Amino acid sequence: MPERTGPRASSPAVPSGRTSALWPIPSSVLHAEVIAPSLSEREWVLAGSKGEQRVHAFLLLSRGGTLLGEEVVDLPSPALLWLPSHAARTVRVNAGARGYMLAADDDFLTRTISSAPEGSLLRHTIDGIVLVPAHLLQNRAEEIGHSFQALAREVRAPDRGSMAVIGAHVTLICLHLWRLAEADASSEAGLRGTGHHVLQQFRQLVELRYREHWSIKRYAGALGVTENRLHAVCIRNAGHPPRSLVYDRMVQDACMRLQQMDVPVEQIAFSLGFKDPGYFNRFFKKHVGVPPGTYRRRAKPQHAGSTNSYAAWP
């Protein structure tokens, strides 16, 4: 019988190393562990949006495993698997497998990659399920494994600067994932049957056109697929319909502008392609829960104090 770790697999253990009141505790935002060879299978049951808001990544260096969900996907080693927080899946690792697993808080991940020059491109990749196949990992698996190993060490025994080290290695893993996912999509390898490359192209097109308020029909036409096909791809790989993904990107941009720009709300509405500021107010309140003016008043004190967080450390 496999060892069912269930939700505990995504819950961080208390680090055994010494900590200081002045140093943030890494385990509050990230859990990383070594997958040591075992005589039996192991399972991680990930609850998706019903559980903790954590992304999960698995690097399997030997013996491989299986991804269970709407379909069964083999994980031949070496394999790099990335699962966003909304992905309800079960990861089964074969007996004797060797590798690493990490679970990172969604908010921490967002703050970490936002400081990278390629942050917006990384966001496109890590918002979906990514499986990098063995043939693309052959020459990079051990290199990526060094980052997983470093994360496990810093969580187990935190020290001064641990959060900066963790942020650097998490960003490095995301950069590797982005590079390899792009190479996979261009060759139409890996998860070809899931339409993963279609989702990547859709996200890139959304990044270019969301301020123009394209219809989903127009997006589908530009991608050379039907609306039904685009809808199915987004639901399967991102867990949300295409319209929700477009709206999420618009809301993300609106929130950023409200926090960082001292201009009237009407000007922000126009910059996002809304011809009617009143419609923008209703749109924002529907998706965020409060009007944009209220959001700005509440967010500014938090934004002003965020420079003391580990995300702002050099």
Is residue 244 located within the same domain as residue 162?
A: no
Residue 261 and residue 148 share a domain = no
Same domain for 113 and 262? no
Query: pLDDT (tens digit, 9 = 90+) per residue, 3-42?
Result: 444 434 443 333 333 444 445 567 789 999 999 999 999 9
Residue 314 lies in a domain: no
Measure the CA angle with vertex 176, ends 119 and 180; round to 5°. 105
pTM: 0.56
Asked if residue 283 is part of any domain, the answer here is yes
Range of 228's domain?
196-306
Identify whether residues 10 and 154 lie together within a single domain: yes
**Residue 190 confidence (pLDDT) above 80:** no
Q: What is the CATH number of the domain that holds 9?
A: 2.60.120.280
Q: Is residue 135, in this structure, part of any structural domain at all?
A: yes
- pLDDT for the residue numbered 280: 95
| 3 state SS of 314 | coil
The answer to whether residue 170 scores a pLDDT higher than 60 is yes
Give the total number of structural domains in the chain: 2
Does 177 share its domain with 79?
Answer: yes
Per-residue pLDDT averaged across 64-76, rounded?
A: 84
DSSP output for 94-140: -TT-EEEEEEEEHHHHHHHHHTSTTHHHHHHHHTS-EEE-HHHHTTT
- The answer, yes or no, to whether residue 217 has pLDDT greater than 70, is yes
At residue 169, the pLDDT reads 96
- Co-location of 143 and 11 in the same domain: yes
| Domain of residue 260, CATH code | 1.10.10.60
Residue 35 lies in a domain: yes
Average pLDDT taken over every residue of the chain: 81
